Amino acid sequence: MTLYADTSAVLKRYVDDADSDRAVELLAGDPEVVTGRHTVVEVRRNLARVLAPADATDARAAFAEDLGAMSIVELDAATCELAATVAEQTGVRTLDAMHLGAALRLGTAMTFLTFDVRQAHAARALGFSVAGV
């Protein structure tokens, strides 16, 4: 089964919080993890924002290595059109709509991993099985 991981899930691998152990376990438990290209921007922005510079550098290097093992959905015109439709239908925030649009490119037969309650609600409404929250 393929796992689509949004930024709230991926970031927990590098920033320790209450759900980090669960996120790491879920990410490691699936042989194919997929995310959207914009996850790169979101994760790196948050690493720079919440970690000390040396820790952010180490986390960024670990993220780059992990990203090499993930499948990436590019933010092409079709993905953006799906995201726009999702945003209109669900009212989710723009970057959340981008994740849902990217996941929809692959179909709803996968699990959508998120630790964002609003994102989880929208993913379920679109027919995804949701893990995390």
| DSSP letter string, 61-90 | HHHHHHHTTSEEE---HHHHHHHHHHHHHH
The CATH number given to whatever domain includes residue 104 is 3.40.50.1010
CA angle 86, 88, 93 (to 5 degrees): 70
Distances (CA, A) of 14 to 11, 34, 82, 123, 128: 6, 17, 29, 24, 26
Range of the domain at 64: 2-132
Is the pTM of the predicted complex or chain greater than 0.85? yes
pLDDT per residue rounded down to tens, the chain (133 residues): 699 999 999 999 999 998 999 999 999 999 999 999 999 999 999 999 999 999 999 999 999 999 999 999 999 999 999 999 999 999 999 999 999 999 999 999 999 999 999 999 999 999 999 999 9
What's residue 12's pLDDT? 97
What's residue 1's pLDDT? 62
Sign of dihedral through CA atoms 67, 19, 5, 11?
negative
Q: Helices (DSSP H) in 1-133: which residue ranges?
A: 7-11, 20-28, 38-50, 53-67, 77-90, 94-104, 117-125
Total domain count, the chain? 1
Distances (CA, A) of 11 to 1, 35, 91, 113: 21, 12, 23, 12
